[in-house]
């Protein structure tokens, strides 16, 4: 059970415009994540803007983005985050076999070199924060500078998401 009440805009008329923006950006849904975030409309609006940019306005491939997000969720034990992104990962071409192999991706032969670079970079950023030169070099070999920035922001941002979800124990819908 979430540590804070899940807000519904039907009970809070002042939140109706914000909830409408969230629904529009998120396919008509008001996820529990946003129902908690709406306790601070300022944070909820900035969150929506940032993650809309990450997910919908960047040039980084959907596959790289979703592999990074799933890896962050796995490393941080954020099941809600993982479950929310499995459908996006599938749409981006991540197979069910690859989803099953993510926990042991280093030993798997199912991931292309670009995928492996993304997963290693995500692991380093999430686990040790400082990325070894050889891990960065592998990412840089596959992505131009703008996409390196986008990948780095995605990993950092979704570490925020998982920490927020887990600290406040936000439940699945």
Give the residue extent of every domain in the chain.
Answer: 13-57, 62-167
Does 46 have pLDDT greater than 90?
A: yes
- Cβ neighbours of 87 (radius 10 Å): 10
In CATH, what number does 62-167 get? 1.20.1290.10
Model-level pTM greater than 0.85? yes
Q: pLDDT tens digits, residue range 112-162?
A: 999 999 999 999 999 999 999 999 999 999 999 999 999 999 999 999 999
Each residue's pLDDT tens digit, 1-15: 899 999 998 889 999
Averaged pLDDT score across all residues of the chain: 96
User: How far from the centroid of its chain's Cα atoms is residue 4's Cα?
Assistant: 22
Predicted local confidence at residue 122, as pLDDT: 98
């Amino acid at each position: 059970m979430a540590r804070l009440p899940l807000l519904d805009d039907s009970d809070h008329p002042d939140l109706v415009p914000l909830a409408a923006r969230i629904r529009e950006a998120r396919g008509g849904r008001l996820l529990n994540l946003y129902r908690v975030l709406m306790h601070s409309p300022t944070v909820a609006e900035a969150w929506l803007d940032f993650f809309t940019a990450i997910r919908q306005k960047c040039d980084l491939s959907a596959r790289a983005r979703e592999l990074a997000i799933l890896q962050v969720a796995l490393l941080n034990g954020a099941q809600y985050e993982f479950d929310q992104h499995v459908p996006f990962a599938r749409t981006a071409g991540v197979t069910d076999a690859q989803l099953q192999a993510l926990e042991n991706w280093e030993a798997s032969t199912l991931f292309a070199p670009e995928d492996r670079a993304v997963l290693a970079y995500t692991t380093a950023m999430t686990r040790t924060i400082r990325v070894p030169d050889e891990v960065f070099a592998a990412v840089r070999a596959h992505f131009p500078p703008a996409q390196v920035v986008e990948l780095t922001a995605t990993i950092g941002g979704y570490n925020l998401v998982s920490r927020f979800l887990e600290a406040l124990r936000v439940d699945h819908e």
